[in-house]
């Protein structure tokens, strides 16, 4: 691994992130300005508002990152920016800002895939991750099982056909009046409740496939709630949150372990915002331990969106990709 200092920039959704990472592993500074308080009153991310907040915040976030690191911009070797997938207006802020910086400093620019960035939160923190491996990426926008043969060599084995796991958490949290973002809110409520008091389905789809679907579970949860209310019963939100969380996690764990067995790998990674979920971390650990798989997941702060994972990813992509031209664009899809 080279020893370059990489400045990462992340603005794909509602977090404005700038970070400095050396050699792909050493975080010199990692600043994230969250917009949660702004979007909370709308119950979800409002794209236009996110873009405007990124514009207002990004310069300040860069300034704070440089100050915390004690480095000057002239000590940065490479600029790395998320340019896909995400909210287009939000991505364009980061990409424009990165291009301006790269041009002004005369430094190379690398374009990074946000999902690949999530995977590299693991390489940032853990030593001894061996290929080939299977990674479950679970966030607000994506639920994918990825097979990775080596750095930069990956294949999507399956993804969600409808809602992402995090999206399901967010929507059900809103429905139950638990607030935004939904994942942490449901996890908190679930801790006060018990699984199995209510019964919700586990959506495995084809038993030996690697695709996910969470919209049926979402409907089943809402129907159960409405049925209980109609029959005049009090609904215990904590028990319902616990069962909902269990239904999501059971499917994620079973499919990930099946994918690891199918490919004969010995390493499993978790990545993305939903990887912060304690029940998912515990159940995946148990499942992997049972059949001798090595499991890695990032610390909670590096599961959700941040720019350190983007800079770390760029350290491994350096040499695989040519630097991006100044015509670099942003793309909402993969
Ligand atoms: O990776 P991320 O920060 O942004 C995207 O790329 O989407 O993930 C955000 C998602 C949200 O849907 C949020 O509800 C979910 O991650 N999340 C969680 C937890 N913390 C965040 N879901 C379940 N349990 C958590 N503890
Ligand atoms: Zn993300």
pTM over 0.95, yes/no:
yes
Residue 254 included in any domain: yes
Q: Measured in angstroms, how far is the CA atom of residue 259 from the centroid of ligand 1?
A: 22
Do residues 221 and 255 both lie within one domain? yes
pLDDT given for residue 263 in this prediction: 98
Residue 325 included in any domain: no
Structure tokens at 6: 């990489």
Do residues 142 and 240 both lie within one domain? yes
pLDDT given for residue 288 in this prediction: 98
Structure tokens at 115: 């999902």
Do residues 32 and 76 both lie within one domain? yes
Q: Does residue 13's CB lie within 6 angstroms of at least one atom of ligand 1? A: yes
Residue 281 included in any domain: no
Domain that residue 19 falls in:
5-119+303-317
Q: Does residue 86's CB lie within 6 angstroms of at least one atom of ligand 1? A: no
Give me the torsion for CA of 281, 282, 287, 293, rounded to 10°: 60
Coil, strand or helix: which one is 92? helix
**For the segment 273-287, what is each residue's pLDDT rounded down to a tens digit?**
999 999 999 999 999
Do residues 162 and 58 both lie within one domain? no
pLDDT given for residue 60 in this prediction: 98
Do residues 192 and 85 both lie within one domain? no
CATH number of the domain encompassing residue 14: 3.30.420.40
Structure tokens at 193: 């409740």
pLDDT given for residue 16 in this prediction: 98
Residue 217 included in any domain: yes
Number of neighbouring beta carbons within 10 Å of residue 297: 24
Closest ligand 1 atom number to CA of residue 164: 12
Phi and psi torsions of 109, nearest 5°: -120, 135
Burial 258-293 (b: 16+ CB within 10 A, else e): bbbeebebebbbbbbbbbbbebbbebbbebbeeeeb
pLDDT given for residue 91 in this prediction: 98
pLDDT given for residue 207 in this prediction: 76
Tell me how far apart the alpha carbons of residues 281 and 132 are, in angstroms, rounded to a whole number: 21
pLDDT given for residue 187 in this prediction: 98
Q: What stretches in the chain show pLDDT beneath 50? A: none
Tell me how far apart the alpha carbons of residues 291 and 293 are, in angstroms, rounded to a whole number: 6
Residue 298 included in any domain: no
Tell me how far apart the alpha carbons of residues 128 and 130 are, in angstroms, rounded to a whole number: 6
Residue 48 included in any domain: yes
Pocket test residue of 140, 180, 279, 309 for ligand 1, highest count of atoms within 8 A of CB: 140
Q: Are 182 and 169 in contact (CB under 8 A)?
A: yes
Q: Which helix (H) or strand (E) holds 146?
A: strand 143-150
């Amino acid at each position: 691994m080279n020893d370059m200092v990489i400045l990462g920039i992340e603005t794909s959704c509602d977090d404005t992130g700038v970070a400095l990472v050396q050699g792909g592993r050493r975080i010199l500074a990692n600043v994230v300005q969250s917009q949660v308080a702004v979007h909370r009153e709308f119950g979800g991310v409002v794209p236009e508002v996110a873009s405007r907040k990124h514009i207002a915040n990004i310069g300040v976030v860069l300034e704070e990152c440089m100050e915390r690191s004690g480095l000057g911009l002239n000590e940065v070797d490479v600029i790395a920016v998320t340019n896909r997938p995400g909210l287009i207006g939000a991505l364009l802020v980061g990409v424009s800002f990165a291009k301006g910086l790269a041009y002004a400093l005369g430094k190379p620019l690398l374009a990074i895939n946000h999902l690949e960035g999530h995977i590299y939160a693991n390489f940032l923190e853990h030593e001894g991750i061996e290929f080939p491996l299977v990674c479950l990426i679970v966030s607000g926008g994506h639920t994918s099982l990825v097979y990775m043969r080596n750095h930069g060599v990956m294949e999507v084995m399956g993804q969600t056909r409808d809602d992402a796991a995090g999206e399901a958490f967010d929507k059900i949290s809103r429905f139950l009046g638990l607030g935004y973002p939904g994942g942490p809110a449901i996890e908190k409520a679930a801790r006060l409740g018990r699984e199995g008091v209510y019964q919700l389905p586990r959506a495995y789809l084809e038993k030996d496939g690697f695709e996910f679907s969470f919209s049926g579970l979402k409907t089943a949860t809402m129907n159960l709630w409405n049925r209980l209310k109609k029959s005049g019963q009090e609904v215990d939100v904590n028990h319902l949150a616990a069962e909902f969380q269990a239904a999501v996690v059971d499917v994620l764990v079973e499919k990930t372990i099946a994918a690891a067995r199918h490919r004969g790998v010995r390493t499993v990674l978790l990545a993305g915002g939903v990887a912060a979920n304690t029940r998912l971390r515990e159940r995946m650990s148990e499942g992997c331990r049972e059949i001798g798989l090595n499991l890695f997941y990032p610390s909670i702060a590096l599961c959700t969106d941040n720019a350190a994972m983007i800079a770390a990813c760029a350290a491994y992509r350096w040499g695989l990709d040519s630097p991006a031209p100044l015509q670099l664009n942003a793309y909402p899809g993969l």
